[in-house]
A and B are shown apart, each in its own frame.
Chain A
Amino acid sequence: MNQTAGKGKKDILKRQATPYVYLLPTVVLMFILLVIPILMVIRYSFYDNVIINKNPVFVGLQNYKAVLSDPNFLVAIRNTLFFVIVSIIAHLIIGMVFALVLNTRYLGDKTKGIFRVIYALPWMFTASVIAILWRMMLNPNGVINYLITSMNLVNDNISFLASRDIALKAVTLINIWSGYPFYMISILAGLQGISTDLYEASALDGANAVQTYFRITVPQLKPILISLLMLDFVWTLQQFALIWMTTGGGPVNATETISTYIYKQGFTKYQYSMASTGAVILLIVCTIIGIFYVRQQRSGD
């Protein structure tokens, strides 16, 4: 009797332990790669020059005061906001237009398939390829300058990426080009998930295409659109590679964003405390949006 009871207990224990065994590698990796590093970077932000200095001294909020009063950081925030807001709005509009066109009944499935592949292409390229490609095209002697001068839109060739007034807009344009397919594909998947009954009901009510769009399509897509905007906001906020390889934050600080600011503080000036502080500020902003994103995903379940 006792033996079977003992065995039963053992079985229950084994059963309870099983999921943790399967999760062990993940938990260990996430602990080493996520939890510890985040605690480390938060700690760094409260000490004077860490990593370089063998015995860093606790300085409280001094690094935060220094970063938040650094004019370069304030410029970086302004540039980042422009870059992010313009990018995500343009992504949404372009992605939506392409998705709607690819979802019309006027086109055959094969045609739709071909155009979908072409429109999705920019998503397939890595940031360094995109950066070099656009540097070539936006060169003062490049193909885009040829087009706009031959159309008499401008008189002189423009150095898009070297001009303090234009560089940020040019980098934003590149980011718009590389990012919209994500919206297009997701919205298209959403559109295909909307029940045709809803459209039929709307047609019976005598609604025109625009009314149907705003009464049926947009409300049905709303959860997807909110997720897309939040994910894209966070990703664009963190965009580093594209800016780093097109302008490096320059000229001067015309395209300096929070990511390039942090990278320069850390890896060109070796001010790891300042870099960590900037990194924590960025993390806080992303976490706040992340919380809303998780809630959004949960409410969908």
Chain B
Amino acid sequence: MIGKKKVSVQILIVIILILGVIWAGFPILWMFLNSFKPNAEIFAWPPTWISENFSFDAYKAIFSNPEQVRFFVNSYVIAGLVVIVTLIVGIMASYAFSRFNFPGKGLINTIIVSVQAVPPITLLIPYISLIVTLRLYNTYGALILTYLVFTLPYCILMTTGYFNTLPKELDEAVMIDGGSRWKALWKILVPTAIPGLVSVGMYTFMQAWNEYLFALALTKTNDMRTVPVGINLLMGQHAYEWNQMMAMSVLGSLPILVLFLFFQKYFIAGMTAGSVKN
């Protein structure tokens, strides 16, 4: 009886595994396959798996169009700068949270935690006036600045957690030797916390790379558009170049996919930070 039951459980698991692969993987496989087809074949009936006219034409079209290459440049520059600023400002704040007790700590902490609940669309309307007032409308600055509202709190929560696991003696040793707190933070604490900071940096990069709403509303000209907004522009301009849109989707997803595949452990640490407490 027990043997039979075990077999049926195993069969159930195999069925779920297969259904799961189709459910999760097929749309993504379809995206890759369609990026190598001629546009006319996208809606072929019956659909083709691998086209007889397999080609990299869609990718070539993207790379030979300076306007579309620009979307990628913009996204890399913006996401990269957001990561740098977030880490510098976030590490400083995390040091304060981890190593000091001070009046107002609870309040500032509550504000930082509560940002997760603030809808981006609520902030967008005042941001329009704010960004115009700061003369940042349609610039990298508009996006880098506004992305910090979501990347920074996340960075602080995670980094404070990492710093808390490092013994205080570590940075105090530097200060006994006559070093400053500043030196203790950047020369000792930060290098020790590198694995954690890699997770934070990657998650920040992903947040910035994937952002759509602010990028849509706070930039205007095509030379300032990021990849998520740019993909959508391909839909309006020409008559639905599906193969190019798929190629751009693949290219636009590549940085995140590469990060995920190579640094899976760090990535997962970032994903679970909000809900799982160790």
Contacts and interface: CB of A to CB of B under 8 A. Distances in A.
A136 B25 contact: no
Contacts of B235: 132
Nearest to B252: A129
A301 B114 CA distance: 17
B117 A133 contact: no
A104 B121 CA distance: 41
B275 A143 contact: no
Contact of A29 (B122, B130, B152, B228): B152
A182 interface: yes
B125 A41 contact: yes
B90 interface: yes
A233 to B, nearest CB: 10
22 contacts: A18-B96, A19-B96, A19-B99, A22-B92, A26-B108, A26-B112, A34-B115, A34-B118, A38-B118, A98-B20, A115-B17, A128-B228, A133-B27, A136-B245, A146-B47, A181-B24, A186-B275, A231-B275, A234-B116, A241-B212, A263-B121, A287-B114
Given A26-B152, A137-B30, A279 B276 contact: no
A141 B45 contact: yes
B128 interface: yes
Interface stretch (A2-10, A71-79, A199-207, A222-230): A222-230
A234 B9 CA distance: 36
B84 interface: no
B117 A289 contact: yes
Given A38-B122, A290-B116, 10 more contacts: A34-B149, A37-B130, A97-B16, A120-B24, A124-B256, A126-B227, A237-B119, A276-B125, A286-B118, A287-B114
Interface string A108-123: 0000000101111111
Contacts of A189: 268, 272, 276
Interface in B188-214: 206, 209-210, 212-213
Interface stretch (A81-89, A161-169, A292-300): A292-300
A251 interface: no
Given A25-B93, A128-B231, A106 B10 contact: yes
Interface in B212-240: 212-213, 217, 227-229, 231-232, 235
Contact of B276 (A22, A32, A190): A190
B143 interface: no
Interface string A126-157: 11110111101101011100100010000000
Contacts of A214: none
Give chain B's interface secondary structure class: helix
A40 interface: yes
A36 B99 CA distance: 29
B141 interface: no
Nearest to A238: B119
Interface stretch (B50-58, B59-67, B257-265): B257-265
Contact of A132 (B118, B119, B146, B231): B231
B148 A272 contact: no
A132 B129 CA distance: 31
Given A30-B111, A228-B275, A259-B121, A126 B209 contact: yes
Nearest to A37: B126
Contacts of B278: 193
A27 B127 CA distance: 18
Interface string B153-192: 1001000000000000000000000000100000000000
B46 A146 contact: yes
Contact of A34 (B16, B17, B111): B111
Nearest to B27: A133
A106 B9 contact: yes
B33 to A, nearest CB: 10
B102 A20 contact: yes
Given A22-B95, A136-B242, A33 B20 contact: no
Given A22-B95, A137-B27, A283 B20 contact: no
Nearest to B112: A30
A121 B20 CA distance: 11
B253 interface: yes
B81 interface: no
Contacts of B153: 30
A68 B257 CA distance: 43
A44 interface: yes
Nearest to B10: A106
Contact of B110 (A134, A143, A294): A294
B139 interface: no
Given A37-B130, A266-B124, A121 B28 contact: yes
B77 interface: no
Contacts of B264: 117
Q: Which of B42, B120, B152, B277 has the most CB of A within 10 A?
A: B277
Closest 6 A/B residue pairs (Cβ):
A290-B117, A37-B126, A126-B210, A19-B100, A40-B126, A22-B96
Contacts of A35: 111
Nearest to A280: B122
Nearest to B157: A297
A115 B89 CA distance: 37
Given A34-B111, A137-B27, A146 B121 contact: no
